[in-house]
Amino acid sequence: MPVVDIDPDELRQLTGTDKDDDRLKDDLFGLGLEYEGETEEGELQFEFAPDRLDRLSVEGVARSLRYHYGEERGTYVPPTNDPDWTIEIDDVPEERPYVTGAVIRGVDLDEAGLDSLIQLQEKLHATMGRKRAKGAIGIHDLTMLKGKSLSEEAGPSIRYTGVEPDEPRFVPLDSDRELTPAEVLEDHATGREYADLVEDYDRYPAIYDELGLFSFPPVINGRRTEVSTDSRELFVELTGTDQWTIDRMCAIVCYALSARGATIEEVEVEHPDGTLLRPDFEVREKRVSHDRIERMLGMEFDPETLIDCFERSGLSATQVLGEETAYDVEIPPYRVDVLHPVDLIDDVGRAYGFDGLIPSYPDVSTVGGRHERTRLEDATRNVLVGLGFEDTLNFHLTNEAENAERMGIEPGEGVLGAGEPATIREPYSEDYTIVRTWALPSLLMVLENNTHRSYPQDLAEVGFAAELDDSTETGVAERRTVAGVLARTDASYEDTKGRLQALARSFDVELETPPTEHPSFIDGRAASVVLDGEEAGIVGEIHPAVLVEHDLELPVAAFEFRLDALE
């Protein structure tokens, strides 16, 4: 989940409070921001749910606190000045056709403000922009731009277009020589990092003013328009593959700069189908019923209390009387997380304080209890811990490289983990594009991330895995899986089999281990896990190539099998 670095003194200044760090941590925890630690510079680090992207900067966090304290109420939309600048869209690459922007005037950027702006930009790239693939932000010193007038009556303009890879030359950020876009992708560190986003394009995206190319989105800006603490007027441009996404990203940036005293000025975006005025500060509206709020939160509320909670969440609400009481709620443009009335109810709960909700027993005639599968999972975990394993809980989502390529297997080759994975149609991150087909890759990733810790490291997980299967009703075969790894100087097949044998005896099932082959394991040091005559998994020593791929310098032995084989 996203982590934001916040200077506590700056947070107090922007919030208008003198609360100490501990009280700020408690208040932010109530808003869903969990304290994670401090940086070397003394900044506080907070982790929060990835839906509240408006809190990726100290300005957004301060805004939430001001609403929480009642210092501000209701939906706020920054005033905007009429447009002077125009963005002209001309023959852009079809892979990245959308652009938006805003002019920022009168901003006061000290070092802290500039650092916060850069952090917001990069974290929006990593989250909503999907590592710049879906949306990328360029921020420029407006005084260094020379706009071209489209007519005698029109103001200055810039042009978003497509260029040949070897055609224009410009000086990119962190460079002192002119490069073509193709040379940027080969010779510049940032260019090499983001080359995969545009290298297959026939023509590269580019933004020009009258002096020439000053932005090569989504890769890098030109040095000529670099922003510094002396910059007082900015031009913000965003390009991407989805208009809604870049408009919302632009709104979040504009709100953050407005919090520092800036004035927002509209820009005209001219494209073949018409003209758009940006930034898009449209206020959306959703309706939620009074009864639904009470049922979900488990308490009775009067309308005045609910309206107060909405307003202290940065929303405006109007009571609607009819067959049932409801509320029309206005949602500001930076709240990209509000997709459903349930999201509004969550805001009410946080504003009221979940600690203040009164617990009550549900009015049902049944008595709850653990599912038999859950009992089996807990019993398996207890035995594994007793055998010396440390229990872990890993993400069920992963990507194809982690799930298969780094494990040395090819999808569909008929071994454990090689089943066809269920894919996410529109993944939020390139790191999580599929549901894992087995758990061992997750455990090896944990080992990879903990090479700085002492050994031995004996880890286990009882978790979820799935793969496509047309014979099932849903088309996906889901299962609970048991996996374990032993990372130590003396890790061996025999030791791992011994622990597996002890686990089998605890559940009164018979273990057999006939030899087998698997690309992730050393030939001759791997066996099938057969429980009560049914093949359920694999045990053995991890192949050296897999260890090298995960930067592991000690031998690792491992096993994985279906949980239901212990029943």
Q: Which residues are annotated as a binding site for Mg(2+)?
A: 337, 343, 346-347
The Cα diameter of the chain in Å comes to 89
Which tokens belong to 40?
Answer: 């070397």
Q: How far apart are CA 396 and CA 414, in angstroms?
A: 21
Give Cα 268 distance to the centre of its chain: 31
CB 420, CB 467: distance < 8 Å: yes
Give Cα 71 distance to the centre of its chain: 30
Q: What is the DSSP letter of 408?
A: T
Amino acid at 556: V
Q: How many CA atoms lie within 13 A of 128 on its CB side?
A: 34
Give Cα 112 distance to the centre of its chain: 24
Q: How far apart are CA 39 and CA 41, in angstroms?
A: 5
DSSP per-residue codes, 458-499 = EEEEEEEEEEE-TTSSSSEEEEEEEEEEEESTT--HHHHHHH
CB 220, CB 185: distance < 8 Å: no
Residues tagged in the binding site annotation: 337, 343, 346-347
Q: How far apart are CA 541 and CA 372, in angstroms?
A: 32
Contact partners, residue 88, CB within 8 Å, separation at least 6 = 150, 157, 158, 159, 160, 270
Q: Could you tell me which of 522, 375, 520 has the C-alpha nearest to residue 438? A: 520
Q: How far is CA 423 from CA 430, 435, 466, in A?
A: 12, 6, 11
Tracing tokens 């994985």 back to the chain, one arrives at 560
DSSP per-residue codes, 84-121 = --EEEEES--TTS-EEEEEEEES----HHHHHHHHHHH
Question: Would you say the C-alpha torsion 49, 51, 54, 57 has a positive or negative sign?
Answer: positive
Amino acid at 95: E
CB 348, CB 385: distance < 8 Å: no
